[in-house]
Amino acid sequence: MSECDDMEFYQELSKMIQDTALDMYSSLTGVLSDQINSTATNKGKESVGLLLDGLSFMLDANTNKGTEEMEITTNHTHVNTTKVSKVKKSGKKILTLVDSIADAALAIAQPAAEPIVFVTSNMNIAVMKKSPANTLGQNLANSRSSSRKKTTGQFLLPSDSHFSGVLNSLQGDISLQMMLMDKNPYVWDQSSHDVTTPVVSLKMKTSDKKVVTVTDLQEPIEIQISNQAVTETTLFTLEIPLKFVNNTFRVDAIKISMLRMSTNLKEGHSIVMSVRSQQLDFQFQILHKPQGDQTKLNFTSGTLLNEGNNFTFISTSVSSDGLYYTYISPVLHSSSDVSFTKYDLTNNYITICESGIECEENTKLHVNLTVESYSVACLYWNEEKEAWKNDGCQVSKQTTREVIDCRCTHLTSFSGSFLVLPNFVDPFADAALFLSFFDNPIVVFTVIVVWFLFLSGVFWARKADKRDEAQAGIVILSDANPNHSYQYLMCVVTGWWAGAETTAKVSCYVSGDKGHSTKHCLSDSVVGKGCFKAGWEDWFMFTSSHHLGDLDSITIWHDNSGTSPSWFLTRVLVQDLRTNKVYSFIFGEWVGVERGSVKVTIPCVKPEDFNTYKNQEFLLKSSRDIRDGHLWLSILSKPCQSHFTRVQRLSCCLSLLLCAMLTSIMFHGVPTDDPDDQVQVTSITLSLADIVIGIECGLIMFPINLIIVKLFLRTSLKPKKQRSSRRKYQFNDSFQKIDIVEKSIKRG
């Protein structure tokens, strides 16, 4: 049964069944404690293992349930005290039973023998007995492996006189109980959100099973906890200006640049920074201070690291939440003096350009730094306050991204907090990088090209929008008579591909069961703008002195004039404005001499016959959606009737592109080359990290731009002064009805 199945099964159990199961385990634990002895070692181990397996399953399910409830609490800022208290009660009871079973297992443990280790699906428990003398300075380790990772926990006990005095005050052997848990079982407090690593605990008990209290040690206990987090690596460049003084190139220390990084840290966290210089043998000095600290940047009070061009800096734990700054400045290594020299702001020059470094007059020395940063905290479970705290614990200098090394002055349950710090984007500070154009021209040039293309596109798009405004109205035919009692609105749809438009003059008449209209020359009524272009919908209004009845056909032709007379006619739609009835005339063929005829008669499609034209309907709907719905393509092909202008569409494209560039910067440097994370498909190598980063970029980028697009789509047109108020009629996508909107039109 998988973990998900286990969780679903457990959640379906009623509260009564859960309590009954715990009562049963409690009874079995009592029986085991009474009957287990050192003579039945194998049977005792088997019994302990079976009980721990069951309790491990219940503890894991309770932890998952509590974690889910705390996530809901975080998202909705409302604590369901009833559910949380149930999780707390069950968790405490399960952990108490686990502790009792571990005590029972000590009955089969032999003094000075190897630890007895019990392995379950989500935790390891090791029990052992040692004399006080053998306990001093002991290295107690526990590890568990799965198909994807290896989890380890380790305690290095002190050997000083203070700890020795604590142990020597006890009588008999000391019982040690060490636990390593994949998940944090103490999930009923908000501080559990900070716990990101496995949990390790060590209890020391006397022969009568009383817990030995270990606090305020002079020499701390070293605790190591494995960590599986992925960190980010960022490339920075420090610029060091040079001056030619007395035939020697020197550094102008007053103008020296330094790297400043800002990070939001929680109370008890330390910042860890691994810095590597890619060119020269540098030493670095670090200064860490909170925001608002107005003292001068006195690097003599900072940390000087002597590991050449590769070092790791770990700050002390911060005392409060807030924004903290970390300053990094290089110290140059002189070949004539093997020692490292700090920058002294009272001395303007420090000689470099030795050790074979080539310098040129008026040049600048650029130091490329690879910085890996993350936040770490050492936490322990405070039984009295029932919360994860960090007092008495300090992150040690041996901490790496694989192992968190803590030094604590007491014993309890321990874990760690490991947070990958995102790349900090400072728009004001980063803007200064544009001043170093010739040092980093590619990025700057790319941004300039993007904005140049955008501004050029805006100039073209605005002209196209004005052309669309002129073409979007309805043309009232020149032979229309305002005294006629019957008006008809007609839409002529031209195919959407190259060569579909016509240069010829188009005419038509409409026939109904009560007569036909007069012949109308559509092209002659269009003044000052084109018509029948590829993909266009041309709107006309004509009148009739008598009612034509139900329309049954339309006859349409052209005079075959111009350089490209052949015309692809998709369809014609006509609405009787008195009855509001719409008639569809679907054609989808060429009208031209070389195509057969310049004159065609198209019958009206009855509603029951629309299924015959499914393919044409699908193609027309698809082309409309692509022309108007595709953000990038619609800049060139949008219908002139759409009020989502080309300039607005182009602005949305710019926003989408810049957001994509920003998200790429945010995730730049995240490792994606872990061999365990690679999947080979033929010649293509896929990485889970690449996929996850792509999804995260999409989740950041697309909602923002979708909102921007929707805001443009929902904006109404700016009202204009009307020369004459008439109605414009526009077909919707289904062509089954026509929506009526007010619009200013001009008589053709």
Q: Within a domain: residue 710? A: no
How many domains is the chain partitioned into structurally?
3
| Domain boundary pick from 219, 251, 273 | 219
Indicate the Cα dihedral angle 627, 628, 633, 638, nearest 10°: 80
- Helices (H), ranges, 566-687: 614-629, 634-637, 646-666
Closest CA to 226 of 142, 122, 316, 156: 142
Q: Within a domain: residue 391? A: no
β-bridge pairing 475-476 and 537-544: parallel
Q: Within a domain: residue 695? A: no
Nearest-angstrom CA–CA distance, 140 and 201: 11
131 phi, psi to nearest 5 deg: -80, 155
The amino acid at 549: G
| pLDDT at res. 61 | 81
Q: Tell the burial category of 104 from Cβ atoms under 10 Å away from its Cβ (0-12, 13-18, 19+).
A: buried
The amino acid at 283: Q
Same domain assignment for residues 193 and 342: no
Nearest-angstrom CA–CA distance, 616 and 665: 46
Nearest-angstrom CA–CA distance, 369 and 608: 73
CB 262, CB 421: distance < 8 Å: no
Nearest-angstrom CA–CA distance, 677 and 680: 10
| pLDDT at res. 632 | 76
Q: Within a domain: residue 117? A: yes
Same domain assignment for residues 66 and 197: yes
* pLDDT tens-digit map of 74-125: 554 555 677 778 888 888 888 888 888 888 888 888 887 888 888 888 888 8
| Blockwise average pLDDT, block size 10, the chain, 748 residues | 49 63 81 70 80 84 78 56 79 87 82 84 86 82 76 85 77 84 84 83 83 83 80 71 60 61 79 71 65 49 46 75 75 39 34 42 66 82 83 83 85 58 50 56 79 88 78 79 88 83 90 89 75 83 89 91 88 89 88 84 83 68 71 75 80 84 69 56 67 75 78 67 41 35 33
Same domain assignment for residues 535 and 592: yes
Q: Within a domain: residue 665? A: no
| Domain boundary pick from 219, 242, 268 | 219
Give the torsion sign (CA, 242, 245, 249, 254).
negative
CB 184, CB 132: distance < 8 Å: no
Q: Within a domain: residue 456? A: no
Same domain assignment for residues 49 and 176: yes
End-to-end alpha carbon distance in the chain: 77
Same domain assignment for residues 53 and 189: yes
Nearest-angstrom CA–CA distance, 426 and 433: 11
Same domain assignment for residues 38 and 179: yes
DSSP labels, 351-402: E---TT----TT-EEEEEEEEEEEEEEEEEEETTTTEEE-TTEEE-TT--SS
**What is the CATH number for 258?**
2.60.120
Same domain assignment for residues 240 and 206: no
| pLDDT at res. 80 | 62
H or E element, residue 130:
strand 123-130
Same domain assignment for residues 526 and 617: yes
| pLDDT at res. 119 | 87
List % helix, strand, coil for the chain (3-state, nearest 5). Answer: 30, 30, 35
Question: What is residue 618's DSSP assignment?
Answer: H
CB 350, CB 362: distance < 8 Å: no
β-bridge pairing 199-205 and 221-226: unpaired
Structure tokens at 616: 């044409």
Question: What is residue 644's DSSP assignment?
Answer: S
| Domain boundary pick from 392, 423, 454 | 423
| pLDDT at res. 735 | 34
**What is the CATH number for 534?**
2.60.60.20
Same domain assignment for residues 280 and 358: yes
Nearest-angstrom CA–CA distance, 206 and 493: 93
Nearest-angstrom CA–CA distance, 157 and 221: 5
* pLDDT tens-digit map of 18-45: 777 778 888 887 887 777 765 566 777 8
Give the torsion sign (CA, 294, 295, 299, 301).
negative
Q: 243: domain range?
A: 233-379+418-423
Nearest-angstrom CA–CA distance, 379 and 393: 7
Same domain assignment for residues 259 and 362: yes
Same domain assignment for residues 201 and 267: no
Q: Within a domain: residue 367? A: yes
Q: Within a domain: residue 718? A: no
| pLDDT at res. 733 | 36
Same domain assignment for residues 635 and 505: yes
* Helices and strands (DSSP H and E) totals, the chain: 12, 35
Structure tokens at 44: 């005792």
Q: CA 712: distance to chain centroid?
A: 25
Nearest-angstrom CA–CA distance, 609 and 620: 17
| pLDDT at res. 281 | 53
Q: Tell the burial category of 542 from Cβ atoms under 10 Å away from its Cβ (0-12, 13-18, 19+).
A: buried
